[in-house]
Each structure stands twice: as C-alpha cells, then as structure tokens.
C-alpha cells in the first residue's frame, strides 16, 4: 500500500514539475500563440507534451546553417553591385515604394527591371515548358524542388536531365529529403550515374551541418536553366493528381532577365547550406523587352525574421482598393487575420480564394475556424472546385503580384524555406486578375448567414483544431 502511495506521489511530483518547468521555459523561447498551444498540450498530457516540445517546439537550426545563410545573404548583396544599371526605383507614394525596402532588408534582394514574366496555369503545359527548357540547355540546369514522385512526371524530368547531362550540361538537383523521398529513393543513383549531382535538403541526422528541428522543410520550387530562363511557383515534379480524383491546379512564373540571376543565387545559397560548396553565380543576364520590375522574397527559419509573414502583412495593409489572396492552406496567425480584418473594415475589397478540396483534414478544420470572423468583417471567401487549387499567389490593387511557394499558414511562415516572386507591373497584375477570375467562375462563395448555421459540434471540432495551429 505504501509503495503504491509513494509511486503516486512521485508521479504527481514529476507531473507538476514538468508543468511548472514548461511555464517558465516555453514562453521565453516561443512566440506567444505557439506557447499557448504547447502549454495547453503539456497541461493535459505532460509526459507526452514535453518530449514533443523538445523535438518540435522550436524551429531551431544549427548555428552552422544560420551562419551559412548569413554568409550567403552578404554574398547576394555584394553580387548585386554589378547589377546597378538594372536597379529599379519604385514611384513615390505607391504600394511598391513601401514594400521594396522592407523586402530588400529582409531577404537581401533588390528590385531589378528588364524582366519578362509569363504566368503558366496549365499543369501539363507548365511541365512541358520546363522539359523543353531543360532540353534546350547548353551550359547548366539547376533544379530545386520540394516534392518529386516516382511517377510519369518524375520519370520525364529524370529523362530530360539524363539527356542534358549526356550533352555535357552541368546538372545539379536539390530535393527535399521528406517531400521528395519517393523520387530520391527511385532516381538518385540513376541520376548520379548519368553525371547529375543530387543532394537531399534537410536530411536530418545528428551531424552538426544537418541538425535542426525534425519537421523543418525546404518547400521551394525553382528551376534555372543557363543564363536565360527560370521557373518559380507552386508546381512540383509530380503528376497532377495529388488528391485521388481531384487534379491539382497550379501557377508558375516563367521568367527572363536579371531576376534569373537572383533565382540562381537562391539555388546557390541552398546548395551551400547543404554541401558547403560555393557556386559561382554570374549577375549578368540579358534583359527582356517587357521590362517588368521584379524582386525576390526568400524566407525560412535560417533568416532572423519571418520574411514572408512580415511582407504579406505589409502588402495587405498597403492595399487601397483590392487584395486577392489565393492559397490551398489557410491557417492565419493573428497578424495576417488582423490585417485582412482591418483592410476589409477600411473599405478594401478583400477576396480570399481557397480550394474546396483539401488533402490535410486537420488543416482544413483549423482554417474553417477563422471563416466566421473574416466573413463578419466583409472578407469574401470563395471555395474553388472541382480541382485542388494548390496555387499560392496574391495581387494588390493594380500594382503588385506575388507568386511562389508561400502558403498562408504558420508552417510556411515559420518552418518552411519558401520563395516568392514580386512583380511590380500592372500588366502582370492584370494577367493574374484574369486567372483569379477564372478560379472564381468555378467557386462557391460562402455566405456569412449560411456559415453561421453550421452545427454546434462542428464549431467545437474546428475550434479544437485551431488550437493546434502551431503544430500544423
């Protein structure tokens, strides 16, 4: 009997020691919203919550990775001195004039003019454009992708790389260790035998250069071919049927001009983070007649600030007439939700376009929890069908378009390495508006009154899922 009492006493002591230690430790090292979620979990399940927090609670990287990113940012700033002739100065009192200096200080990339931008939203056509560019390569092909499957698309990409390597083209491939696990397992040795250099990004392990939080991922999708052309956007190297029966819809920008050197600098930075090898990146690229002003927005846990979140919040606040946000995953933090609310209440037309289908059930429930407040303050929410809308982009007034890999969720803002391309050009914005209108033509518009009538049990489940927003 006494042994049972002693055991119970020890369990009680350990239980409360964990709770108190978590209360003292977590808020000082984690942002407030995430700290609340972790403290709630540890309060209910201390013996489970503490190990999970130690494993996943803080988006930490090894000091060496952080140092390498800092070194890469310095090199990027210095390398752009040779592009001074292409530096673009935004007009005064514009959305761009407020955005450009923030993005440059966060991500190191200045805005450059002299670019051509083509928006590609046909899945098969986008893939074919990439394969054609690889087949036309004469010097090098650099691919950086989150996801690569061992399917027909993965096979087509591998065959194109094999053809390029056989012509003497220098081919380098970076694939996320988790997202592209299937592709790495199937194709890595085959590509290496063909002369293609392949590396897995954030592979984990205990060695210093690989150490970091286990679920940090590189979510970028970038292709750079020779000095002339690059692709950046949401489309992975995989078949369109991401969800069975619901093919993906994506958006990719195919670009020419000085911005190609900047995209290659992002590739070189990630190559350096993973391998320690410094690649030479020439800042000289031929200009394009369209003369579009562009700027890159890289973000990720290796940077000192949440680059993507800060920039998107700023763009929403700067909108004067209309802002359209398109994302497959919408789990906003307080700053994003607050910016959307303030913009809508200020008279800005705020349109949120989401996918009616979602391959992540918990994320879908969490994002449903934010709809009612946004609808109440005038934000328009549309659910696109029948395809899975995996595209990630936004447009502000007639001035700015942003396209890339950035989702509007906490994972993209805090845990993933992401890339965005800002285009300060009314023609590009007009083309994006046309794509947005096409989404809306096949979308269900949510009614505030109808949404409020959903069952009480569903509201409760959504609210509980929202508490896990920091874990998604």
| Mean pLDDT within 329-354 | 96
Mark whether 397 is an active-site residue: yes
Q: Whole-prediction pTM value?
A: 0.91
Structure tokens belonging to residue 390: 């995996």
Kind of pairing between the strands at 217-218 and 416-424: parallel
Domain 307-471 belongs in CATH node 3.40.50.620: no
Tell me: the pLDDT tens digits for 439-461?
999 999 999 888 888 887 877 77
| Mean pLDDT within 108-132 | 98
Name the β-bridge partners of 176: 201
Tell me: the pLDDT tens digits for 210-246?
567 778 899 999 999 999 999 999 999 999 997 778 8
Cis peptide before 386 (omega within 30 of 0): yes
- Annotated catalytic residue, options 221, 262, 288, 384: 221
**pLDDT computed for residue 188 by the predictor:** 98
Q: Give the residue extent of every domain in the chain.
A: 2-56, 63-103+110-294, 307-471
Report the SS3 class of residue 411.
helix
Phi-psi region of 257 (alpha: psi -120 to 50; beta: other; left: phi over 0): left
- Annotated catalytic residue, options 176, 226, 310, 425: 226
| Domain 63-103+110-294 shares a fold with domain 307-471 | yes
- Annotated catalytic residue, options 390, 409, 425, 469: 390
Mark whether 87 is an active-site residue: no
Tell me: the pLDDT tens digits for 1-40?
555 656 667 767 777 777 777 777 777 666 666 777 777 7
Mark whether 239 is an active-site residue: no
| Mean pLDDT within 126-155 | 97
Mark whether 221 is an active-site residue: yes
**pLDDT computed for residue 28 by the predictor:** 66
Tell me: the pLDDT tens digits for 378-437?
999 999 998 999 999 999 999 999 999 999 998 899 889 999 999 999 999 999 999 999
* Distance (Å, whole) CA 128 – CA 119: 14
Fold of 63-103+110-294: Endonuclease; Chain A (3.30.870)
Mark whether 458 is an active-site residue: no
Kind of pairing between the strands at 170-176 and 197-201: parallel
* Distance (Å, whole) CA 139 – CA 168: 8
- Supply the mean pLDDT for the chain: 90
Structure tokens belonging to residue 70: 């800092």
- Annotated catalytic residue, options 121, 133, 219, 256: 219
- Annotated catalytic residue, options 121, 176, 333, 397: 397
* Distance (Å, whole) CA 277 – CA 270: 10
**pLDDT computed for residue 428 by the predictor:** 98
Q: Decide if pLDDT at 467 tops 50.
A: yes
- Annotated catalytic residue, options 384, 392, 409, 469: 392
365 band by pLDDT with thresholds 50, 70 and 90: confident
DSSP sequence for 365-384:
HHHHTTHHHHHHTT-EEEEE
Q: Decide if pLDDT at 208 tops 50.
A: no
């Amino acid at each position: 009997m006494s042994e049972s009492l002693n055991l119970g006493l020890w369990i009680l002591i350990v239980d409360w020691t964990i709770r108190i230690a978590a209360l003292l430790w977590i808020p000082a090292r984690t942002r407030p919203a995430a700290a609340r979620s972790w403290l709630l979990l540890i309060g209910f399940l201390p013996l489970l919550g503490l190990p999970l927090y130690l494993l996943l609670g803080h988006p930490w990287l090894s000091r060496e990775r952080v140092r390498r990113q800092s070194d890469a940012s310095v090199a990027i700033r210095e390398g752009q001195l040779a592009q001074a002739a292409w530096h673009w100065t935004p007009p005064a009192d514009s959305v761009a004039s407020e955005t450009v200096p923030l993005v440059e200080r966060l991500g190191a990339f200045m805005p450059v003019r002299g670019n051509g931008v083509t928006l590609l939203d046909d899945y098969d056509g986008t893939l074919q454009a990439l394969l054609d560019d690889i087949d036309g390569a004469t010097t090098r092909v650099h691919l950086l992708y989150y996801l690569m499957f061992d399917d027909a698309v993965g096979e087509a990409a591998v065959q194109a790389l094999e053809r390029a390597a056989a012509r003497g083209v220098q081919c380098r491939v970076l694939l996320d260790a988790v997202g592209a696990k299937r592709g790495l397992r199937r194709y890595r040795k085959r590509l290496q035998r063909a002369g293609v250099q392949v590396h897995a990004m954030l592979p984990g392990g205990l060695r210093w250069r690989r150490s970091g939080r286990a679920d940090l991922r590189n979510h970028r999708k970038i292709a750079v071919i020779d000095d002339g052309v690059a692709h950046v956007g949401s489309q992975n190297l995989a078949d369109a049927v991401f969800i069975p029966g619901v093919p993906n819809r994506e958006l990719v920008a195919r670009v020419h001009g000085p911005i190609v050197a900047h995209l290659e600098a992002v590739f070189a930075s990630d190559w350096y983070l993973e391998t320690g090898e410094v690649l030479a990146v020439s800042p000289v690229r031929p200009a394009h007649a369209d003369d579009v002003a562009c700027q890159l927005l890289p973000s990720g846990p290796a940077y000192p600030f949440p680059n993507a979140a800060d920039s998107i919040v700023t763009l929403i606040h700067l909108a004067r007439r209309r802002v359209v946000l398109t994302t497959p995953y919408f789990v906003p933090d307080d700053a994003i939700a607050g910016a959307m609310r303030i913009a809508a209440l200020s008279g800005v037309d705020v349109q949120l376009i989401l996918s009616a289908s979602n391959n992540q059930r918990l994320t879908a429930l969490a994002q449903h929890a934010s709809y009612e407040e946004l609808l109440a303050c005038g934000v328009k929410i549309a659910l696109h069908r029948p395809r899975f809308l995996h595209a990630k982009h936004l447009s502000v007034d007639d001035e700015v378009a942003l396209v890339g890999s950035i989702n509007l969720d906490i994972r993209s803002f805090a845990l993933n390495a992401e890339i965005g391309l800002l285009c300060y050009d009314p023609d590009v914005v007009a083309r994006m508006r046309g794509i947005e209108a096409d989404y809306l033509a096949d979308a269900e518009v949510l009614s505030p009154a109808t949404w409020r009538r959903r069952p009480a049990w569903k509201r409760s489940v959504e609210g509980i899922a929202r508490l896990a927003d920091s874990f998604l």
